[in-house]
């Protein structure tokens, strides 16, 4: 199956080891070192991040806890019927 991620997801400049995002990264930069010490090839790092994002989205869509445990309104949460004036 194919999972979509946001077109502007910063896959190349997000560290696949710690999640830190670099502010800027020109296309001419092919390898870079994150502050955590991880050394990345730009394209390989992007592929890891895209795979992780797709897997995370699949878990969000099909996880066991998709539905809330209770359908009851709580506290100040709006109910389904208006209050009498």
**pLDDT tens for each residue of 12-59:** 999 999 999 999 999 999 999 999 999 999 999 999 999 999 888 776
Per the confidence metrics, is the pTM higher than 0.75? no
End-to-end CA distance of the chain: 52
Domain assignments of the chain as residue spans, ordered by start? 1-63
- Average of per-residue pLDDT across 70-84: 56
The confidence score (pLDDT) of residue 37 equals 98
* CA dist., res. 72 & res. 59, Å (int): 25
The confidence score (pLDDT) of residue 27 equals 95
């Amino acid at each position: 199956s194919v999972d979509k991620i946001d077109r502007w997801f910063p896959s190349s400049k997000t560290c696949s080891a710690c999640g830190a995002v670099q502010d800027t990264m020109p296309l001419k930069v092919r390898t870079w070192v994150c502050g955590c010490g991880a050394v990345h090839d730009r394209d390989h790092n992007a592929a890891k991040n895209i795979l992780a994002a797709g897997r995370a989205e699949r878990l969000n869509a099909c996880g066991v806890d998709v539905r809330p445990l209770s359908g009851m309104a709580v506290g100040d949460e709006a109910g389904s019927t208006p209050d009498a004036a």
